[in-house]
Chain A
Amino acid sequence: MDELIKATYNNGNPLPEFNNAAQVWNHNFFWESMEPRGGDMPKLGLLDQIEKDFGSFTNFKEKFVDAALTLFGSGWVWLVLKRQERRLEVVKTSNAINPLVWNDIPIINLDVWEHAYYLDYKNDRAAYVKNFLDHLVSWDVATARMIRAEAFVNLGEPKIPVA
């Protein structure tokens, strides 16, 4: 699937198959990014990395919410591990676009197409995003994805305690 998405993205001039392929990937990823009693906080290494790249977990959440609220039209909000920059970032993409096309590694995503929240929240996208972060996001899954991502991106030496 990953290869199909990169190929049909066609370097910014997407082929007709791209939308459906990418949206399949995006939605699969989304379902797995959530769990019934999710929310709370990430732990250990992932939390360390978030604090390193955002300053604090609260700051990460603010950036995530801001991205969701300033995304115009349909799209997705992502926590990604940027391969070149070797850091976590929040990115927003339009319609079906997926950070795989830039060779980055998604950690979690949130669907902000109106269909994702309209029946439950009407136009109140802010309430939907906050509920996702507070109650749905699966930091366990995010951690597993981060562990896998670290096989591809060198985030530096692990901290070894002295004595």
Chain B
Amino acid sequence: MALRTLLSCRTLAAAVKPELGFSVGLRSLVTFSLPDLPYDYGALEPAISGEIMQLHHQKHHQAYITNYNKALEQLELAMSKGDAPSVVKLQSAIKFNGGGHVNHSIFWKNLAPVREGGGEPPKGSLGWAIDTHFGSLEALAQKMSTEGAALQGSGWVWLGVDKELKKLVVETTVNQDPLVTKGPSLVPLVGIDVWEHAYYLQYKNVRPDYLKNIWKVINWKYASEVFEKECP
């Protein structure tokens, strides 16, 4: 392939891709960039403070992305050299940082300001599935809050749907493990970050209060969209 054609492929790729949050380099390694929040940092107050949202987004999520990109570059190099030990050694960095990027990207969409529907209960098929499976939205929230509060150390509590069995599940994962590590057919609908950085500045050690208040800004519209796609 002529160099000029290669360059124009790259230019075309760069022109098309940026808004999707990643870019394609000449070696076709896809790297990632921080997605914008669909709301202002302060828009979720008083449930989650603007200070936390800004740090969480600009520092923590950004750090996961930076380190994920670095690990991917190192992985590509190791793979091209056939360096098996290095490829294996990089897996934990990819899981931590890639997982961090995946999980937080979902998290920002799981939240919405009250004036944009945050906290409004799900209608349609997801609302019905929640009532059937858990009894009520309150019961689901109670279950997730209890499991989130009991999680030792850092992790996430999830509402997911098993796309094979077509049923809802509540699960927890440790550190930045994505929900799929608990079951290959699990699709995340709502994830709640229970790492201390997600609430400490505002709620200090009282994780249960954070978990009680976050339901006021959960974006059930997004969760419903994902659910309806998996269970039409």
Contact = CB atoms under 8 A, between A and B. Distances in A.
Interface of A: 19, 72-75, 94-96, 113-115, 118-119, 122-123
Contacts of B175: 72-73
Contact of A123 (B60, B92, B96, B176): B60
Q: How large is the interface on B (under 10, 10 to 19, 20 to 34, 35 or more residues)?
A: 20 to 34
A21 B96 CA distance: 28
Q: Which of B96, B195, B200 has the most CB of A within 10 A?
A: B200
B200 A119 contact: yes
A62 B174 CA distance: 28
Contacts, number: 46
Interface string B177-209: 000000000000000000111001100110000
A73 B205 contact: no
Nearest to A95: B153
Given A122-B55, A122-B59, A73 B196 contact: no
A94 B96 CA distance: 14
A9 to B, nearest CB: 14
A74 B153 contact: yes
B87 interface: no
Q: Which of B154, B174, B175 has the most CB of A within 10 A?
A: B154
Interface in B55-107: 55, 59-60, 63, 92, 96
A67 to B, nearest CB: 15
B152 A96 contact: yes
Contacts of B96: 72
A118 B55 CA distance: 11
A48 B20 CA distance: 56
A-B pairs, top 10 by smallest CB distance, nearest first, are A114-B196, A74-B153, A95-B153, A73-B175, A73-B154, A123-B59, A118-B200, A72-B96, A74-B154, A115-B196
A115 B200 contact: yes
A122 B200 CA distance: 9
A123 B61 CA distance: 11
27 contacts: A72-B92, A72-B96, A72-B175, A72-B176, A73-B154, A73-B174, A73-B176, A73-B195, A74-B153, A74-B154, A75-B153, A96-B152, A96-B153, A113-B196, A114-B154, A114-B197, A115-B196, A115-B205, A118-B196, A118-B197, A118-B200, A118-B201, A119-B204, A122-B55, A122-B201, A123-B60, A123-B63
